[in-house]
Structure 1
Amino acid sequence: MDAARGAVMSVKELEAFLTLEFPQAFGPGKPHHVESVGRNVATVRLDADESHLRPGGTVSGPAMMALADVAIYVALLGQIGPVGLAVTTNLSINFLRKPSPGPVFADAKLIKLGKRLAVGEVGLRGPGSDELVAHCVATYSIPDRPAA
């Protein structure tokens, strides 16, 4: 999905922006990747390696929280464009089951997009599964933007 599907930024444009703004997480050899973007939705993948695991061999809670946060941010940017200073104001996550090491997918959907706030939810899942490993709801604050 991309701009043709209701997003103002394509996957390629989002990856370029995120690589520039968040080089610790995006870019060549980094763990996060934008899989798709569309009208009020996005999917982001975390290639969880040993640095993302906790004792017991499962993906850590902080890694999943970061993935959920990034996924809502990507869905938001897909609608409002490259606004680097949009920030999380609230995030709540429920861990449902242990994800195995490897890719984790975050499917984000914006529930409300206003001028100053956006609310979204994210389902986290393993590859090839619809069974959620975590569910997240988050609110983003959107800074004032210049008039078009």
Structure 2
Amino acid sequence: MDATGAPVMTVEEIEGFLDREFPEIRTHGRIYEVERVGPLSARMRMQYHPSQLRPGGTISGPAMMALADLALYVAVLGAIGPVGLAVTTNLNINFLRKPEKRALIADCRLLKLGKRLAVGEVDLRSEGEDDLVAHVTATYSIPPR
């Protein structure tokens, strides 16, 4: 984050970084999309794909957790720059309602950004819905520069 609080990486730079460093997230195509990076925040979209379903026809918990984790990572990257070894140290998810079989939107904000830890929360919604399908809190460990 620069002195004005603006992100230090653009959406395009973050997408390029993810393509280079984490090509495995593109296994089923460009399912994950960074929509916005702001001051201590990010918005991501996960396009619906049948591989995300679990028995009962709902998007699986692991798919929702992956989106939330990636959204938090993107917010951290936007704030501190391309740090490949920032890692999740804790993630807690509360499943609130069944998501629809459509894209999920993740709105993330960092609650604390320190030198060694970043703490954030992520709200997950089915595209076009106001009600949350899940709420996530997580902590990232930031390696020393």
Assess same fold via TM > 0.5.
yes
Cα separation, 2, equivalents of 1:54 and 1:66: 15
1:44 aligns with 2:35: no
Secondary structure at the counterpart of residue 24 of structure 1: helix
Matched residues in 1 for 2:71 and 2:49: separation? 19
1:71 corresponds in structure 2 to 71
For structure 1, list consecutive stretches of 5 or more residues without a partner in the other structure. none
CA distance in 2: counterparts of 1:28 and 1:135, whole angstroms: 25
Change (3 A) 1:127 1:106: same
The AA in structure 1 aligned to 2:63 is A
Supply the distance in 2 between the matched residues of 1:5 and 1:21 (Cα, whole angstroms).
26
Distance 2:34 2:125 in 1: 15
Deviation at 1:25, TM superposition (A): 1.2
Report the AA paired with residue 126 of structure 2.
G
CA root-mean-square deviation: 1.6
Q: Is the 8 A contact 1:40 1:110 kept in 2?
A: yes
Structure 2: runs of 5+ lacking an equivalent: none
SS in 2 for 1:25: helix
Deviates more, 1:4-13 or 1:14-23: 4-13
1:87 aligns with 2:87: yes
1:22 is matched with 22
1:100 match: 100
Distance 2:44 2:22 in 1: 14
Deviating runs (4+, > 3 A) in structure 1? none
* DSSP 3-state at the match of 2:130: coil
Task: Calculate the TM-score normalised by the size of structure 1.
Answer: 0.91
Identity value in percent: 62
Is the 1:11–1:36 Cα contact (8 Å) retained in structure 2? yes
What is the rounded CA distance, in whole Å, between the counterparts of 1:59 and 1:66 in structure 2? 12
For 1:104, the aligned partner's letter is L
In 1: Cα distance, 2:26 partner to 2:111 partner: 25
The answer to whether the 8 A contact 1:15-1:27 is kept is: no
State the aligned residue count: 142
Structure 2 length normalisation: TM-score?
0.93
- Cα offset, 1:101, TM superposition: 1.3
1:126 Cα deviation from its structure 2 partner: 1.0
Q: CA deviation at 1:24?
A: 1.5
